[in-house]
Structure 1
Amino acid sequence: MTGLRPVDAVTALAYQRSLYRAGGISVRVGQRPVPDDPTLPAWWRRSDVVFVSAANPGGRRRPDGWNLRRMRVLAACLAGCESHEGEGRLGQWAEPLFAVRLPLARGRVIARRFGQNAVLLVREGRPARLVFLETPHPARRPGGDGFSLRSG
């Protein structure tokens, strides 16, 4: 048991609308990454990239100092992986994260360890997608009862 609850529609929509930036790329759910500087090497094209955070587990706001300490622990956990610091942002809300070159399965394990609801997966040639760690409640599945994760 992870202590995570299925994500509600409001939270899922916030994840969908957020802009994720790290390692010289910007990406939104359902879109392909865009380089912030086209002259930089496209490191994200060589394998899966997982955007993961340790801040605000379960979508519950935590104090900045607490989040910073958890992000340091996450950074140590990512030692040996190519990773880039960044943030996820929606309006005034911003959360630190890492874009990490590693397989999705490992990214899910790490995200679960840090109590995260989801990771963002970027694969070459494909739109970015949210991967939730807990199955949404049946009445809240994407595409049902007004709940959709399609990009808008």
Structure 2
Amino acid sequence: MTRAEAYRRTQYRAGEVVVRVGRRSATADRWMARHGAREAGFITAWNPMSRRMPPAWNAAAQARLRRDLRGAGREEGEGALGAWHEAMLLVALPKRVLARLARRHRQAAVVWLRRGRPARLLDTRPG
């Protein structure tokens, strides 16, 4: 399975919100409306550039991401596919801010949501 296929097959969840890339999510739309946001996304600091890291490293990286997100509407969540899972945060931020944070935390992509539209995979790698 390619990386892109894995992202598409992964289920992203935070509280009542359930999202899959390429599909519209009514629960995500409601969450964004409650947070007064037109855009949001699932982001993590785990496993930078898809390189598996030890649990303690991932926990420290996720804590740094949470500090960077102070003041943003957010909810704890995860991305899961089979036995694989990563801690995620659903955050009410625009695409450009999500991309900047993802690059800062060395993430290859984020799942970007725009109210009323299907979830998209946003590649954040340089170049």
Distance 1:76 1:135, change over 3 A: closer
Give the TM-score normalised by the residue count of structure 1: 0.76
- Residue of structure 1 in register with 2:12 after alignment: 20
Point out the structure with the larger strand share. 2
Cα offsets for 1:73-112 (capped at 9, x unmatched)? 1001000100111000000000001010011101000000
Unaligned runs of 5+ in 2: none
Question: Does structure 1 residue 51 correspond to structure 2 residue 42?
Answer: yes
Deviation at residue 135 of structure 1 after TM alignment = 7.1
Task: Check whether the contact 2:17–2:31 (CA below 8 A) recurs between aligned residues.
Answer: no
Corresponding residue to 2:121 among 127, 130, 133? 130
Deviation at residue 42 of structure 1 after TM alignment = 2.2
Question: Does structure 1 residue 113 correspond to structure 2 residue 101?
Answer: no
Q: Which amino acid aligns with 1:123?
A: R
Q: Which amino acid aligns with 1:113?
A: R
Task: Check whether the contact 1:49–1:103 (CA below 8 A) recurs between aligned residues.
Answer: yes
CA RMSD of aligned residues (A): 2.0
Query: What are the equivalent positions in structure 2 for 1:63-82 lying under 5 Å apart?
Result: 63-82=54-73
Question: What is the aligned residue count?
Answer: 124
Distance 1:111 1:52 in 2: 7
Identity over aligned pairs, percent? 40
SS in 1 for 2:90: strand
Distance 2:51 2:6 in 1: 13
Task: Check whether the contact 1:23–1:99 (CA below 8 A) recurs between aligned residues.
Answer: no
Distance 2:61 2:126 in 1: 25
Runs of 4+ residues over 3 Å off in structure 1: none
Deviation at residue 43 of structure 1 after TM alignment = 2.5
Which structure has the larger Rg? 1
- Residue of structure 2 in register with 1:32 after alignment: 24
Task: Check whether the contact 2:111–2:119 (CA below 8 A) recurs between aligned residues.
Answer: yes
Distance 1:120 1:79 in 2: 20
